[in-house]
Amino acid sequence: MAENQLGGQQVLLLPEGASRVLGRDAQRTNIAVAVAVASAVKTTLGPKGMDKMLVSELGDIIITNDGATILEEMNVEHPVAKIMVDIAKTQDKEVGDGTTSVVIMAGELLKGAGDLIEQGIHPTTIIRGYKMAARKATDILNAVARKVSISDDQTLQRIAQVSMGSKNVGDDTTKMHLGKIVISAVKQVMEKNAAGTTVIDHDFIKVEKKAGGAISDTELISGVLIDKEIAHPGMPRDVSNAKIALLDVALEIEKTETEAKIEITSPEQMQAFLQQEERMLKDMVAKIKKSGCTVMFTQKGIDDVAQHYLAKEGILAVRRVKKSDIEKLSRATGARIVTSLDDLSAKDLGFAGIVEERKISGERMVFVEKCKVPKSVTIFVRGGNQQVVDEVERSITDVIGAISSVMMDGKYVIGGGSVEIDVANGLRSYANDVGGREQLAIQKFSDALEVIPKTLAESAGMDAIDTLVQLRSKHRSKEGGVTGVDITKNVIGDMAKQGVFEPLKVKEQAIYSASEAAEIILRIDDMISSKGRAPAGGGPGGMGGMGHED
């Protein structure tokens, strides 16, 4: 319980069991927490990075190399740790890749700031220096970036393989196979908006997974895979050149919202009532048949009687399909979503080369394939067990983000720690021009960027300091600007020749996110936690002095 003195009288500020940390103590604590979070994911960076096993309270196991997933599943309590988790999530949502890098950089920026604070430099001076450094870093990044066209599949393939480099998803051949699938998927859903800008909506790349088979069995479906089975055993199992109706209508006799009472006094009346219900359902099916439909998907239910009539008409029907899947089917097949059967006509129907039900790992699924120009596609992920399938899915999500980023801005940079050395060298020159106390913060920013090549070297078992010194030296010479950490041979090498390319947007976002997270944490000089905690034994109510935890 925190307290204050007013004219000799004790004034209680916070409830019993609350805690408060002030000034330098708050900054030290926050920096220590952020560095600890960064250390937790540091060893996962790069192709030779290690995996983490996370076990939930329920005993669910996740084995992953993905920074955002590790932090999300770690279930951290400290508010600063939650900020670090948030920057990883933002990086994941915005560009899909670079989640580990952004957390490591934020940790290093705070570590550097901690050193400067100990030397007596005010946090606001450090923040000002970091803002200047982040702006300059993005300018340098844009200056060294290279252009790529969406038709340059070779470069896009290299970017895809580097994106999944650290993931345990098979050998180079498997990674190449997955890369080709993602590039094709992104190109198919890519569109130009009214302003002529390339727009890629990731929602229309559905990633469906099922344990079984090998990772190399992962395939791209030019259409949509629905994790449902056909409604009635009498319906056809496959339909070629399907005319598809998408309904948001229940093929059932719906109950009225108001209370209604029907008095039936004889068996004949009961029979007539049931026959009337049957006729209504038969009319619904007749309207569907009249439109020329051969395959039907609905968000709502289908009555048993309606299922029977649909089967008699040879119509393949699937019920209770998710709204998001209906929207994907609409984009893939060109069908319109109809909310009234009276409005259903031939022009509302979509097309698919084949619709068929297949049994995958003991479960029935409906494949809608060979659509003409699908604007929605499905990547069907396979793998030896559930953990492998989950990691392949995470890997594919990262690659979708990386390929989308590079297709939207058409620029990439040299990876393997090469571009970070370029930016760090540029920032050191800039720091000398800036002068004042801010230059110390800019120098710390440049040191923080070098944590990427340093960590890559450590993961490969190389001497991190020697590697860093050699890279700095090489990058000062004109011909050495593409030198990075060659983890295959455990030396420094030409990253451009090896095709280690990364999207510019991923690097930019990482620098901005890491910088902003560090700035927001450095501004905190007082942490008040009102969370009620059992007070420690001692004075009455566990009373402690201001600036201390109970």
Burial 259-295 (b: 16+ CB within 10 A, else e): eeeeeeeeeeeeeeeeeeebeebeebbeebbebebbb
List, in sequence order, the alpha helices (H) in 55-122: 67-73, 79-94, 99-118
Separation CA 103–CA 68 (nearest Å): 9
- Please provide residue 349's backbone torsions phi and psi, each rounded to the nearest 5 degrees: -80, 150
- Residues in CB range of 78: below 8 A, 6 or more apart: 33
DSSP characters over 381-411:
EEESSHHHHHHHHHHHHHHHHHHHHHHHH-E
Per-residue tokens: 233: 């055993």
- Helix (H) or strand (E) holding 484, with range, is strand 483-486
- Phi-psi domain of 76 (left: phi exceeds 0; alpha: psi -120 through 50; beta: other): beta
Separation CA 202–CA 216 (nearest Å): 23
Q: How far from 548 is each of 14, 22, 293, 317, 542, CA to CA, in Å?
A: 13, 8, 73, 66, 12
Residue 256, burial from CB neighbour count under 10 angstroms (0-12, 13-18, 19+)? exposed
Residues known to be catalytic: 66, 99-100, 398
Separation CA 98–CA 66 (nearest Å): 9
* DSSP character at residue 202: G
Separation CA 493–CA 409 (nearest Å): 27
Separation CA 204–CA 456 (nearest Å): 34
For CA atoms 360, 363, 364, 370, give the dihedral sign: negative
